[in-house]
Chains A and B, each alone.
Chain A
Amino acid sequence: MKKQASFIFSPDQLNYEFSETHPFNQKRIILTKDLLEEIHAIQPDEIVVPRSATDEELLLAHDAKYIEIVKKASKGEVSENIGSIYGIGTEDTPFFPNMHEASALLVGGTLTAIEEVMEGRSRFALNLGGGLHHGFQGKASGFCIYNDSSVAIKYLQEKYGARVLYVDTDAHHGDGVQWTFYDDPSVCTFSIHETGRYLFPGTGNVTERGNGKGYGTSFNFPVDAFTEDESFLHIYRTALREVAEFFKPDVILTQNGADAHYFDPLTHLYGTMKIYKEIPKVAKELAEEYCDGRWIAIGGGGYDIWRVVPRAWSHLWLTMKAIPAPTGALPEEWLKKWQPESPVSLIETWEDPPNLYEPVPRKKDINEKNEQMLTRALHVIRNGS
Protein backbone atom coordinates (compact mmCIF):
# COMPACT_ATOMS: atom_id res chain seq x y z
CA MET A 1 0.00 0.00 0.00
CA LYS A 2 1.22 3.50 -0.84
CA LYS A 3 2.36 5.45 2.20
CA GLN A 4 1.22 9.00 2.75
CA ALA A 5 4.77 10.17 3.49
CA SER A 6 8.34 8.93 4.07
CA PHE A 7 10.65 10.40 6.68
CA ILE A 8 14.25 9.84 5.53
CA PHE A 9 16.40 9.40 8.61
CA SER A 10 19.51 7.78 9.99
CA PRO A 11 21.57 8.83 13.02
CA ASP A 12 24.54 8.84 10.61
CA GLN A 13 23.15 12.08 9.10
CA LEU A 14 24.59 13.72 12.21
CA ASN A 15 28.09 12.84 11.06
CA TYR A 16 27.99 15.95 8.90
CA GLU A 17 29.55 17.98 11.69
CA PHE A 18 32.24 20.63 11.26
CA SER A 19 32.84 21.23 14.97
CA GLU A 20 30.93 21.56 18.21
CA THR A 21 30.69 25.32 17.89
CA HIS A 22 29.89 25.58 14.17
CA PRO A 23 26.45 27.11 13.51
CA PHE A 24 25.48 24.32 11.09
CA ASN A 25 24.33 21.64 13.52
CA GLN A 26 22.43 18.55 12.40
CA LYS A 27 21.24 17.88 15.93
CA ARG A 28 18.18 19.83 14.77
CA ILE A 29 17.09 16.70 12.88
CA ILE A 30 16.94 14.71 16.14
CA LEU A 31 15.15 17.56 17.90
CA THR A 32 12.53 17.68 15.16
CA LYS A 33 12.03 13.93 14.95
CA ASP A 34 11.73 13.71 18.71
CA LEU A 35 9.12 16.46 18.78
CA LEU A 36 7.10 14.67 16.08
CA GLU A 37 7.37 11.40 17.98
CA GLU A 38 6.14 13.04 21.16
CA ILE A 39 2.92 14.01 19.39
CA HIS A 40 2.70 10.55 17.77
CA ALA A 41 2.92 11.99 14.26
CA ILE A 42 5.53 9.51 12.96
CA GLN A 43 5.04 5.74 12.74
CA PRO A 44 8.11 3.46 12.64
CA ASP A 45 7.23 2.16 9.17
CA GLU A 46 7.34 5.69 7.80
CA ILE A 47 11.03 6.05 8.58
CA VAL A 48 13.23 5.18 5.61
CA VAL A 49 16.98 4.75 6.02
CA PRO A 50 18.91 6.79 3.45
CA ARG A 51 21.46 5.25 1.12
CA SER A 52 24.71 6.94 0.22
CA ALA A 53 25.16 8.62 -3.18
CA THR A 54 27.56 6.78 -5.49
CA ASP A 55 30.49 8.56 -7.17
CA GLU A 56 28.63 8.25 -10.43
CA GLU A 57 25.67 10.09 -8.97
CA LEU A 58 27.84 12.82 -7.44
CA LEU A 59 29.40 13.29 -10.88
CA LEU A 60 25.98 14.33 -12.20
CA ALA A 61 26.58 17.73 -10.62
CA HIS A 62 30.21 17.78 -9.44
CA ASP A 63 33.69 17.70 -11.03
CA ALA A 64 35.73 14.50 -10.65
CA LYS A 65 38.72 16.52 -9.42
CA TYR A 66 36.65 18.14 -6.67
CA ILE A 67 35.24 14.81 -5.44
CA GLU A 68 38.77 13.44 -5.34
CA ILE A 69 39.96 16.39 -3.18
CA VAL A 70 37.02 15.97 -0.77
CA LYS A 71 37.85 12.25 -0.46
CA LYS A 72 41.46 13.08 0.34
CA ALA A 73 40.40 15.77 2.83
CA SER A 74 38.22 13.13 4.43
CA LYS A 75 41.42 11.30 5.36
CA GLY A 76 43.26 14.46 6.38
CA GLU A 77 45.49 14.49 3.30
CA VAL A 78 44.79 18.00 2.01
CA SER A 79 46.59 21.16 3.12
CA GLU A 80 44.69 24.36 3.93
CA ASN A 81 46.17 26.10 0.89
CA ILE A 82 44.99 23.44 -1.55
CA GLY A 83 41.67 23.05 0.28
CA SER A 84 40.87 26.75 0.06
CA ILE A 85 40.99 26.57 -3.76
CA TYR A 86 38.08 24.15 -3.44
CA GLY A 87 36.34 26.10 -0.67
CA ILE A 88 37.12 23.56 2.07
CA GLY A 89 39.33 23.88 5.14
CA THR A 90 38.01 27.43 5.54
CA GLU A 91 36.38 28.89 8.66
CA ASP A 92 32.95 28.52 7.00
CA THR A 93 33.47 24.99 5.71
CA PRO A 94 36.28 23.38 7.74
CA PHE A 95 37.78 19.93 7.17
CA PHE A 96 36.44 17.10 9.30
CA PRO A 97 37.17 13.38 9.35
CA ASN A 98 35.13 11.35 6.85
CA MET A 99 33.65 14.48 5.32
CA HIS A 100 33.19 12.75 1.97
CA GLU A 101 31.15 9.91 3.45
CA ALA A 102 29.05 12.29 5.56
CA SER A 103 28.36 14.56 2.58
CA ALA A 104 27.58 11.68 0.21
CA LEU A 105 25.06 10.34 2.74
CA LEU A 106 23.16 13.64 2.78
CA VAL A 107 22.99 13.55 -1.03
CA GLY A 108 21.91 9.91 -0.91
CA GLY A 109 19.13 10.86 1.50
CA THR A 110 17.66 13.27 -1.00
CA LEU A 111 17.97 10.60 -3.74
CA THR A 112 16.19 8.13 -1.44
CA ALA A 113 13.40 10.67 -0.93
CA ILE A 114 13.06 11.08 -4.68
CA GLU A 115 12.91 7.32 -5.25
CA GLU A 116 10.19 6.93 -2.62
CA VAL A 117 7.99 9.40 -4.47
CA MET A 118 8.89 8.65 -8.09
CA GLU A 119 8.65 4.86 -7.65
CA GLY A 120 5.20 5.33 -6.14
CA ARG A 121 5.99 3.92 -2.68
CA SER A 122 5.02 7.16 -1.00
CA ARG A 123 3.02 10.24 -1.88
CA PHE A 124 5.48 12.67 -0.29
CA ALA A 125 8.97 12.40 1.18
CA LEU A 126 11.05 14.50 3.56
CA ASN A 127 14.85 14.53 3.95
CA LEU A 128 15.75 17.06 6.61
CA GLY A 129 19.43 16.18 6.18
CA GLY A 130 19.50 17.75 2.69
CA GLY A 131 19.21 21.25 1.31
CA LEU A 132 22.90 22.14 0.93
CA HIS A 133 22.18 24.72 -1.74
CA HIS A 134 25.47 26.65 -1.80
CA GLY A 135 27.60 23.75 -3.08
CA PHE A 136 29.07 24.46 -6.54
CA GLN A 137 30.17 22.07 -9.25
CA GLY A 138 33.83 22.26 -8.27
CA LYS A 139 33.78 24.09 -4.98
CA ALA A 140 32.29 24.07 -1.50
CA SER A 141 30.72 27.27 -0.20
CA GLY A 142 28.72 28.47 2.80
CA PHE A 143 28.75 25.22 4.89
CA CYS A 144 27.84 23.10 1.85
CA ILE A 145 30.16 20.46 0.38
CA TYR A 146 28.09 18.46 -2.10
CA ASN A 147 24.89 19.97 -3.43
CA ASP A 148 22.20 17.34 -2.88
CA SER A 149 19.58 19.39 -4.75
CA SER A 150 21.71 19.76 -7.87
CA VAL A 151 22.50 16.02 -7.93
CA ALA A 152 18.86 15.15 -7.22
CA ILE A 153 17.49 17.38 -9.97
CA LYS A 154 19.90 15.84 -12.52
CA TYR A 155 18.80 12.42 -11.26
CA LEU A 156 15.14 13.36 -11.70
CA GLN A 157 15.89 14.47 -15.25
CA GLU A 158 17.95 11.46 -16.27
CA LYS A 159 16.08 8.68 -14.58
CA TYR A 160 12.53 9.97 -14.77
CA GLY A 161 12.66 12.60 -17.54
CA ALA A 162 10.93 15.06 -15.22
CA ARG A 163 10.51 18.84 -15.46
CA VAL A 164 11.53 20.07 -12.03
CA LEU A 165 10.45 23.14 -10.09
CA TYR A 166 12.98 23.85 -7.33
CA VAL A 167 11.63 26.12 -4.57
CA ASP A 168 14.09 27.61 -2.08
CA THR A 169 12.75 29.48 0.97
CA ASP A 170 16.07 29.60 2.86
CA ALA A 171 16.96 33.18 3.90
CA HIS A 172 20.13 32.87 1.81
CA HIS A 173 19.98 32.83 -1.99
CA GLY A 174 20.09 29.28 -3.47
CA ASP A 175 23.06 30.15 -5.66
CA GLY A 176 24.63 26.71 -6.18
CA VAL A 177 21.40 25.23 -7.56
CA GLN A 178 20.60 28.31 -9.65
CA TRP A 179 23.98 28.39 -11.41
CA THR A 180 23.93 24.64 -12.07
CA PHE A 181 20.68 24.94 -14.05
CA TYR A 182 21.07 28.50 -15.30
CA ASP A 183 21.13 27.39 -18.96
CA ASP A 184 18.59 24.60 -18.62
CA PRO A 185 14.99 25.37 -19.66
CA SER A 186 13.63 22.10 -18.20
CA VAL A 187 14.48 23.12 -14.62
CA CYS A 188 12.94 26.15 -12.98
CA THR A 189 14.70 27.57 -9.92
CA PHE A 190 12.72 29.77 -7.54
CA SER A 191 14.38 31.46 -4.58
CA ILE A 192 12.93 33.88 -2.02
CA HIS A 193 15.60 35.23 0.30
CA GLU A 194 16.95 38.24 2.16
CA THR A 195 18.47 40.67 -0.34
CA GLY A 196 22.10 39.99 -1.19
CA ARG A 197 22.88 43.66 -0.74
CA TYR A 198 24.37 42.70 2.62
CA LEU A 199 23.75 39.02 3.26
CA PHE A 200 25.76 36.06 1.95
CA PRO A 201 26.08 35.06 -0.90
CA GLY A 202 25.21 38.47 -2.37
CA THR A 203 23.54 37.12 -5.51
CA GLY A 204 19.85 36.45 -6.16
CA ASN A 205 18.89 39.72 -7.76
CA VAL A 206 15.64 39.87 -9.77
CA THR A 207 17.74 40.45 -12.88
CA GLU A 208 19.20 36.91 -12.66
CA ARG A 209 16.72 35.17 -14.92
CA GLY A 210 18.67 32.41 -16.62
CA ASN A 211 20.82 32.30 -19.72
CA GLY A 212 20.52 31.21 -23.34
CA LYS A 213 17.81 28.56 -23.67
CA GLY A 214 17.32 28.73 -19.92
CA TYR A 215 16.44 32.43 -19.98
CA GLY A 216 13.20 32.95 -18.10
CA THR A 217 13.41 29.85 -15.90
CA SER A 218 15.33 31.38 -12.96
CA PHE A 219 13.27 33.44 -10.55
CA ASN A 220 14.59 35.47 -7.63
CA PHE A 221 12.62 37.32 -4.97
CA PRO A 222 15.06 39.22 -2.74
CA VAL A 223 13.17 40.73 0.21
CA ASP A 224 14.50 43.56 2.34
CA ALA A 225 16.18 43.05 5.70
CA PHE A 226 13.56 43.17 8.54
CA THR A 227 10.77 41.86 6.30
CA GLU A 228 7.93 40.44 8.44
CA ASP A 229 5.48 37.55 8.01
CA GLU A 230 2.78 39.33 6.09
CA SER A 231 4.96 40.73 3.32
CA PHE A 232 7.10 37.57 3.10
CA LEU A 233 4.05 35.33 2.73
CA HIS A 234 2.36 37.63 0.25
CA ILE A 235 5.45 37.55 -2.01
CA TYR A 236 5.88 33.77 -1.59
CA ARG A 237 2.25 32.86 -2.30
CA THR A 238 1.76 35.19 -5.24
CA ALA A 239 5.07 34.40 -6.86
CA LEU A 240 5.03 30.63 -6.42
CA ARG A 241 1.49 30.32 -7.75
CA GLU A 242 2.30 32.34 -10.87
CA VAL A 243 5.60 30.58 -11.48
CA ALA A 244 4.04 27.11 -11.12
CA GLU A 245 1.23 28.08 -13.49
CA PHE A 246 3.82 29.39 -15.98
CA PHE A 247 6.29 26.48 -15.78
CA LYS A 248 3.92 23.52 -15.28
CA PRO A 249 6.34 21.19 -13.50
CA ASP A 250 6.12 17.39 -13.21
CA VAL A 251 7.55 17.43 -9.69
CA ILE A 252 8.33 20.01 -6.99
CA LEU A 253 11.46 19.90 -4.83
CA THR A 254 11.41 22.36 -1.93
CA GLN A 255 14.44 23.46 0.08
CA ASN A 256 13.27 24.48 3.55
CA GLY A 257 15.96 26.48 5.28
CA ALA A 258 14.45 27.73 8.55
CA ASP A 259 16.67 30.77 8.94
CA ALA A 260 14.27 33.57 7.97
CA HIS A 261 13.03 33.63 11.58
CA TYR A 262 13.55 36.63 13.85
CA PHE A 263 15.69 34.52 16.20
CA ASP A 264 18.10 33.30 13.54
CA PRO A 265 21.58 34.59 14.37
CA LEU A 266 22.89 34.72 10.79
CA THR A 267 20.16 36.62 8.96
CA HIS A 268 18.11 39.77 9.40
CA LEU A 269 14.56 38.80 8.44
CA TYR A 270 11.71 39.08 10.94
CA GLY A 271 9.72 35.96 10.17
CA THR A 272 7.83 34.02 12.86
CA MET A 273 6.41 30.50 13.06
CA LYS A 274 3.52 31.66 10.86
CA ILE A 275 5.63 31.50 7.71
CA TYR A 276 6.78 27.94 8.50
CA LYS A 277 3.21 26.84 8.94
CA GLU A 278 2.25 28.34 5.61
CA ILE A 279 5.24 27.53 3.35
CA PRO A 280 4.61 23.77 3.10
CA LYS A 281 0.86 24.20 2.64
CA VAL A 282 1.30 26.23 -0.54
CA ALA A 283 3.94 23.83 -1.88
CA LYS A 284 1.66 20.85 -1.32
CA GLU A 285 -1.33 22.58 -2.85
CA LEU A 286 0.59 23.41 -6.01
CA ALA A 287 2.10 19.93 -6.24
CA GLU A 288 -1.41 18.52 -6.12
CA GLU A 289 -2.63 20.98 -8.71
CA TYR A 290 0.20 20.60 -11.22
CA CYS A 291 2.26 17.49 -10.39
CA ASP A 292 -0.25 14.86 -9.40
CA GLY A 293 0.97 15.47 -5.85
CA ARG A 294 4.66 14.73 -6.43
CA TRP A 295 6.44 16.81 -3.77
CA ILE A 296 9.78 16.16 -2.09
CA ALA A 297 10.97 18.42 0.71
CA ILE A 298 14.47 18.79 2.11
CA GLY A 299 16.05 20.80 4.94
CA GLY A 300 18.55 23.65 4.59
CA GLY A 301 19.83 26.44 6.81
CA GLY A 302 18.44 27.15 10.28
CA TYR A 303 20.83 28.23 13.00
CA ASP A 304 18.59 28.65 16.00
CA ILE A 305 18.33 24.89 16.39
CA TRP A 306 16.54 25.04 19.76
CA ARG A 307 13.82 27.65 19.52
CA VAL A 308 13.10 27.70 15.80
CA VAL A 309 14.06 24.72 13.66
CA PRO A 310 12.25 21.82 15.43
CA ARG A 311 8.90 23.58 15.42
CA ALA A 312 9.39 24.98 11.91
CA TRP A 313 10.40 21.66 10.35
CA SER A 314 7.62 19.77 12.12
CA HIS A 315 5.13 21.66 9.97
CA LEU A 316 6.66 20.10 6.84
CA TRP A 317 5.94 16.60 8.05
CA LEU A 318 2.53 17.49 9.50
CA THR A 319 1.50 19.03 6.19
CA MET A 320 2.62 15.92 4.31
CA LYS A 321 0.63 13.73 6.68
CA ALA A 322 -2.36 16.11 6.50
CA ILE A 323 -2.37 16.37 10.29
CA PRO A 324 -3.91 19.71 11.36
CA ALA A 325 -1.27 22.08 12.72
CA PRO A 326 -1.09 21.69 16.51
CA THR A 327 -1.62 24.76 18.67
CA GLY A 328 -0.89 25.64 22.26
CA ALA A 329 1.66 23.96 24.50
CA LEU A 330 4.52 21.81 23.17
CA PRO A 331 4.70 18.32 24.71
CA GLU A 332 6.01 18.63 28.23
CA GLU A 333 8.26 15.60 27.84
CA TRP A 334 10.07 17.21 24.91
CA LEU A 335 10.64 20.45 26.82
CA LYS A 336 11.83 18.59 29.90
CA LYS A 337 14.19 16.45 27.87
CA TRP A 338 15.92 19.21 25.90
CA GLN A 339 15.77 22.35 28.06
CA PRO A 340 18.81 21.31 30.13
CA GLU A 341 20.96 21.10 26.99
CA SER A 342 19.68 24.28 25.40
CA PRO A 343 21.68 27.47 26.00
CA VAL A 344 18.47 29.51 25.56
CA SER A 345 15.00 29.25 27.07
CA LEU A 346 12.89 27.09 24.80
CA ILE A 347 9.66 28.49 23.39
CA GLU A 348 6.94 26.45 25.08
CA THR A 349 4.17 26.73 22.51
CA TRP A 350 3.76 25.85 18.84
CA GLU A 351 3.15 29.50 18.09
CA ASP A 352 5.67 32.22 18.80
CA PRO A 353 4.76 34.45 21.75
CA PRO A 354 3.03 37.70 20.74
CA ASN A 355 5.20 40.81 20.45
CA LEU A 356 8.31 38.78 19.74
CA TYR A 357 10.16 41.91 18.66
CA GLU A 358 9.88 45.69 18.80
CA PRO A 359 7.81 47.10 15.90
CA VAL A 360 9.94 47.77 12.83
CA PRO A 361 10.07 51.54 12.21
CA ARG A 362 10.47 51.36 8.44
CA LYS A 363 7.82 48.66 7.92
CA LYS A 364 5.85 50.62 5.32
CA ASP A 365 8.93 51.30 3.19
CA ILE A 366 10.04 47.69 3.45
CA ASN A 367 6.66 46.31 2.33
CA GLU A 368 6.49 48.83 -0.49
CA LYS A 369 9.97 47.93 -1.73
CA ASN A 370 9.12 44.23 -1.60
CA GLU A 371 5.96 44.84 -3.59
CA GLN A 372 7.89 46.70 -6.31
CA MET A 373 10.44 43.89 -6.39
CA LEU A 374 7.65 41.34 -6.88
CA THR A 375 6.25 43.25 -9.85
CA ARG A 376 9.72 43.50 -11.44
CA ALA A 377 10.44 39.81 -10.87
CA LEU A 378 7.14 38.61 -12.35
CA HIS A 379 7.10 41.11 -15.20
CA VAL A 380 8.47 38.50 -17.62
CA ILE A 381 5.62 36.06 -17.12
CA ARG A 382 2.88 38.63 -16.68
CA ASN A 383 3.80 40.47 -19.86
CA GLY A 384 5.28 37.61 -21.84
CA SER A 385 8.59 39.27 -22.68
Chain B
Amino acid sequence: MLVLDIMKNDVITLNSTHTIAEAVHLMQKKKIRHIPIIENDRLIGLVTDRDVKEAAPSSLSDELETLLYETPLSKIMKTDLIIGHPRDFIEEAALLFYTYEIGCLPIVSNYQLVGILTKTDLLYNYIELTGANQPSSHIQIRVPNQPGILFEVSKVFHHHNTNVLSVLVYPYQDDESYKILAVRIKRMNPLSIIEDLKMEGFQVLWPSEPEMNL
Protein backbone atom coordinates (compact mmCIF):
# COMPACT_ATOMS: atom_id res chain seq x y z
CA MET B 1 0.00 0.00 0.00
CA LEU B 2 1.28 3.43 -0.93
CA VAL B 3 1.28 6.74 0.89
CA LEU B 4 -0.97 8.24 -1.80
CA ASP B 5 -3.70 5.73 -0.85
CA ILE B 6 -4.03 7.06 2.67
CA MET B 7 -2.66 10.65 2.68
CA LYS B 8 -4.90 13.71 2.98
CA ASN B 9 -5.03 15.64 -0.28
CA ASP B 10 -6.46 19.00 0.71
CA VAL B 11 -3.75 20.36 2.89
CA ILE B 12 -4.38 23.43 5.02
CA THR B 13 -1.40 25.77 4.49
CA LEU B 14 -0.17 29.32 5.25
CA ASN B 15 2.52 31.61 3.89
CA SER B 16 5.63 32.66 5.79
CA THR B 17 4.26 36.20 6.09
CA HIS B 18 1.20 35.07 8.09
CA THR B 19 1.51 35.73 11.80
CA ILE B 20 1.77 33.33 14.72
CA ALA B 21 -1.69 34.44 15.86
CA GLU B 22 -3.15 33.43 12.51
CA ALA B 23 -1.53 30.02 12.81
CA VAL B 24 -2.94 29.58 16.34
CA HIS B 25 -6.45 30.44 15.19
CA LEU B 26 -6.24 28.12 12.19
CA MET B 27 -5.03 25.22 14.33
CA GLN B 28 -7.89 25.73 16.76
CA LYS B 29 -10.55 26.16 14.10
CA LYS B 30 -9.52 23.18 11.96
CA LYS B 31 -8.39 21.03 14.89
CA ILE B 32 -4.94 20.42 13.38
CA ARG B 33 -1.46 20.44 14.82
CA HIS B 34 0.72 20.93 11.74
CA ILE B 35 0.67 23.68 9.11
CA PRO B 36 2.94 23.43 6.07
CA ILE B 37 4.24 26.82 4.91
CA ILE B 38 4.27 27.26 1.17
CA GLU B 39 5.39 29.76 -1.43
CA ASN B 40 4.08 29.29 -4.99
CA ASP B 41 2.90 25.79 -4.04
CA ARG B 42 6.41 24.92 -2.95
CA LEU B 43 6.96 23.66 0.57
CA ILE B 44 9.38 25.98 2.40
CA GLY B 45 8.66 25.24 6.04
CA LEU B 46 6.46 23.66 8.69
CA VAL B 47 4.89 25.11 11.82
CA THR B 48 3.70 22.72 14.53
CA ASP B 49 1.67 23.38 17.66
CA ARG B 50 4.86 22.87 19.61
CA ASP B 51 6.66 25.67 17.69
CA VAL B 52 3.76 27.95 18.47
CA LYS B 53 3.77 27.09 22.17
CA GLU B 54 7.50 27.69 22.40
CA ALA B 55 7.07 31.11 20.79
CA ALA B 56 4.23 32.01 23.14
CA PRO B 57 5.07 30.39 26.48
CA SER B 58 2.16 31.96 28.35
CA SER B 59 -1.22 32.72 27.00
CA LEU B 60 -2.03 34.75 30.10
CA SER B 61 0.20 37.74 29.39
CA ASP B 62 -1.18 40.65 27.39
CA GLU B 63 2.19 41.84 26.16
CA LEU B 64 2.77 38.61 24.36
CA GLU B 65 -0.55 38.99 22.54
CA THR B 66 0.84 41.93 20.51
CA LEU B 67 3.96 40.02 19.80
CA LEU B 68 1.94 37.12 18.43
CA TYR B 69 0.05 39.41 16.11
CA GLU B 70 3.27 40.92 14.74
CA THR B 71 5.66 38.01 14.41
CA PRO B 72 5.61 36.33 10.99
CA LEU B 73 5.79 32.56 10.75
CA SER B 74 9.12 32.82 8.92
CA LYS B 75 10.67 33.50 12.35
CA ILE B 76 9.54 30.24 13.93
CA MET B 77 8.96 27.75 11.14
CA LYS B 78 11.21 24.72 10.76
CA THR B 79 12.91 24.55 7.38
CA ASP B 80 14.98 21.41 7.78
CA LEU B 81 12.15 19.05 6.93
CA ILE B 82 11.64 15.33 6.61
CA ILE B 83 9.35 14.81 3.62
CA GLY B 84 7.77 11.83 1.89
CA HIS B 85 6.82 10.90 -1.65
CA PRO B 86 3.28 9.82 -2.67
CA ARG B 87 4.67 6.55 -4.03
CA ASP B 88 6.53 5.64 -0.84
CA PHE B 89 5.31 2.46 0.81
CA ILE B 90 3.48 3.10 4.04
CA GLU B 91 5.97 0.85 5.85
CA GLU B 92 8.70 3.30 4.77
CA ALA B 93 6.68 6.24 5.98
CA ALA B 94 6.09 4.48 9.30
CA LEU B 95 9.86 4.04 9.71
CA LEU B 96 10.39 7.78 9.12
CA PHE B 97 7.89 8.61 11.86
CA TYR B 98 9.61 6.20 14.23
CA THR B 99 13.21 7.15 13.41
CA TYR B 100 12.83 10.93 13.44
CA GLU B 101 10.10 11.07 16.10
CA ILE B 102 7.95 13.31 13.95
CA GLY B 103 4.17 13.86 14.06
CA CYS B 104 3.49 14.55 10.39
CA LEU B 105 5.00 13.97 7.01
CA PRO B 106 4.43 16.52 4.22
CA ILE B 107 4.18 14.67 0.91
CA VAL B 108 6.02 16.31 -1.97
CA SER B 109 6.13 15.44 -5.65
CA ASN B 110 7.62 17.45 -8.49
CA TYR B 111 8.62 20.15 -5.94
CA GLN B 112 4.97 20.69 -5.04
CA LEU B 113 3.18 19.89 -1.80
CA VAL B 114 0.57 17.27 -2.78
CA GLY B 115 -0.56 15.90 0.57
CA ILE B 116 0.06 15.33 4.23
CA LEU B 117 0.23 12.20 6.37
CA THR B 118 -0.10 12.34 10.15
CA LYS B 119 0.75 9.75 12.77
CA THR B 120 -2.98 9.37 13.41
CA ASP B 121 -3.73 8.57 9.74
CA LEU B 122 -1.03 5.95 9.81
CA LEU B 123 -2.26 4.38 13.03
CA TYR B 124 -5.81 4.15 11.70
CA ASN B 125 -4.56 2.52 8.56
CA TYR B 126 -2.80 -0.15 10.60
CA ILE B 127 -6.03 -0.80 12.51
CA GLU B 128 -7.84 -1.32 9.22
CA LEU B 129 -5.15 -3.74 8.08
CA THR B 130 -6.12 -6.06 10.92
CA GLY B 131 -9.46 -6.50 9.13
CA ALA B 132 -11.68 -5.56 12.08
CA ASN B 133 -13.95 -3.34 9.99
CA GLN B 134 -15.98 -6.14 8.34
CA PRO B 135 -18.22 -8.75 10.01
CA SER B 136 -15.80 -11.50 10.98
CA SER B 137 -14.46 -13.77 13.72
CA HIS B 138 -10.88 -13.82 14.93
CA ILE B 139 -8.88 -17.03 15.41
CA GLN B 140 -5.34 -17.37 16.74
CA ILE B 141 -3.36 -20.44 15.82
CA ARG B 142 0.09 -21.52 16.98
CA VAL B 143 1.95 -23.12 14.08
CA PRO B 144 5.44 -24.58 13.62
CA ASN B 145 7.78 -22.02 12.06
CA GLN B 146 8.24 -23.92 8.79
CA PRO B 147 7.77 -23.21 5.07
CA GLY B 148 4.37 -24.23 3.72
CA ILE B 149 2.45 -23.98 6.98
CA LEU B 150 0.27 -21.10 5.83
CA PHE B 151 -0.76 -23.24 2.88
CA GLU B 152 -1.73 -26.11 5.20
CA VAL B 153 -3.79 -23.79 7.37
CA SER B 154 -5.52 -22.12 4.47
CA LYS B 155 -6.53 -25.51 3.07
CA VAL B 156 -8.88 -25.77 6.05
CA PHE B 157 -10.47 -22.39 5.23
CA HIS B 158 -10.74 -23.40 1.59
CA HIS B 159 -12.40 -26.65 2.55
CA HIS B 160 -15.05 -24.66 4.47
CA ASN B 161 -15.49 -22.20 1.62
CA THR B 162 -14.61 -19.37 3.97
CA ASN B 163 -13.32 -15.92 3.09
CA VAL B 164 -10.20 -14.80 4.91
CA LEU B 165 -10.21 -11.04 5.52
CA SER B 166 -6.76 -10.66 7.08
CA VAL B 167 -3.79 -12.67 8.26
CA LEU B 168 -1.12 -11.42 10.62
CA VAL B 169 1.96 -13.43 11.56
CA TYR B 170 3.43 -12.78 15.02
CA PRO B 171 6.43 -14.23 16.80
CA TYR B 172 5.46 -16.73 19.52
CA GLN B 173 6.85 -15.48 22.85
CA ASP B 174 10.61 -16.12 22.70
CA ASP B 175 10.31 -19.44 20.94
CA GLU B 176 11.58 -19.30 17.37
CA SER B 177 10.26 -22.72 16.49
CA TYR B 178 6.67 -21.41 16.46
CA LYS B 179 4.69 -18.52 15.02
CA ILE B 180 1.24 -17.21 15.77
CA LEU B 181 -1.24 -16.72 12.96
CA ALA B 182 -4.01 -14.24 13.73
CA VAL B 183 -6.72 -14.72 11.14
CA ARG B 184 -9.99 -12.87 10.58
CA ILE B 185 -12.56 -15.00 8.78
CA LYS B 186 -15.95 -14.06 7.45
CA ARG B 187 -17.81 -16.46 9.73
CA MET B 188 -20.11 -16.16 12.72
CA ASN B 189 -19.83 -19.84 13.55
CA PRO B 190 -16.16 -20.84 13.46
CA LEU B 191 -16.65 -24.08 15.45
CA SER B 192 -16.36 -26.55 12.57
CA ILE B 193 -13.26 -24.78 11.28
CA ILE B 194 -11.63 -24.81 14.70
CA GLU B 195 -12.36 -28.50 15.03
CA ASP B 196 -10.71 -29.21 11.68
CA LEU B 197 -7.69 -27.05 12.52
CA LYS B 198 -7.23 -29.09 15.69
CA MET B 199 -7.65 -32.32 13.74
CA GLU B 200 -4.85 -31.17 11.43
CA GLY B 201 -2.69 -30.86 14.54
CA PHE B 202 -2.65 -27.07 14.89
CA GLN B 203 -2.96 -25.53 18.32
CA VAL B 204 -5.82 -23.02 18.44
CA LEU B 205 -4.95 -20.39 21.06
CA TRP B 206 -8.18 -18.46 20.66
CA PRO B 207 -11.06 -19.23 21.27
CA SER B 208 -9.71 -20.57 24.54
CA GLU B 209 -10.25 -21.12 28.23
CA PRO B 210 -9.95 -18.13 30.59
CA GLU B 211 -6.58 -19.31 31.93
CA MET B 212 -4.94 -18.32 28.68
CA ASN B 213 -3.28 -14.96 28.74
CA LEU B 214 -4.36 -13.13 25.64
Contacts and interface: CB of A to CB of B under 8 A. Distances in A.
Interface in A134-176: 134, 141-143, 172, 175
A215 B186 CA distance: 28
A185 B123 CA distance: 30
A172 B186 CA distance: 14
A266 interface: yes
Interface in A71-109: 80, 90-92
B138 A197 contact: yes
A38 B211 CA distance: 40
Contacts of A198: 137-138, 206-207
B156 to A, nearest CB: 12
Report whether over half of chain B's contact residues are helix, strand or loop; otherwise say mixed.
loop
A202 B189 contact: no
Interface stretch (B44-52, B67-75, B128-136, B144-152): B128-136
A237 B134 CA distance: 29
A266 B135 contact: no
Interface in A179-206: 196-203
Given A90-B161, A134-B135, A200 B187 contact: yes
Interface in B167-192: 184, 186-192
Contacts of B136: 200-202
A225 interface: yes
Contacts of B210: 225-226, 270, 360-362
B211 A92 contact: no
Given A91-B162, A268-B207, A134 B134 contact: no
A201 B185 CA distance: 10
A120 interface: no
Given A23-B189, A362-B210, A196 B161 contact: no
A326 interface: no
A202 B188 contact: no
A265 B194 CA distance: 12
A94 B137 CA distance: 18
A202 B132 contact: yes
Nearest to A358: B210
Nearest to A143: B188
A57 B190 CA distance: 33
B155 interface: no
Contacts of A360: 210
Contacts of B184: 202
A245 B172 CA distance: 48
B207 A91 contact: no
B137 A200 contact: yes
A272 B128 CA distance: 35
A265 B188 CA distance: 12
Given A197-B138, A201-B135, A202-B138, A142 B207 contact: no
Contacts of A268: 207
Contacts of B162: 91
B160 interface: yes
Most B CB within 10 A of own CB, among A23, A197, A200, A361: A200
B177 to A, nearest CB: 25
B135 A91 contact: no
A242 B214 CA distance: 32
A141 to B, nearest CB: 5
5 contacts: A196-B132, A199-B138, A202-B138, A266-B188, A268-B207
Given A80-B161, A91-B160, A202-B131, 14 more contacts: A23-B189, A23-B191, A90-B186, A91-B162, A141-B188, A172-B188, A198-B137, A200-B136, A200-B190, A202-B137, A203-B133, A203-B135, A225-B214, A226-B210
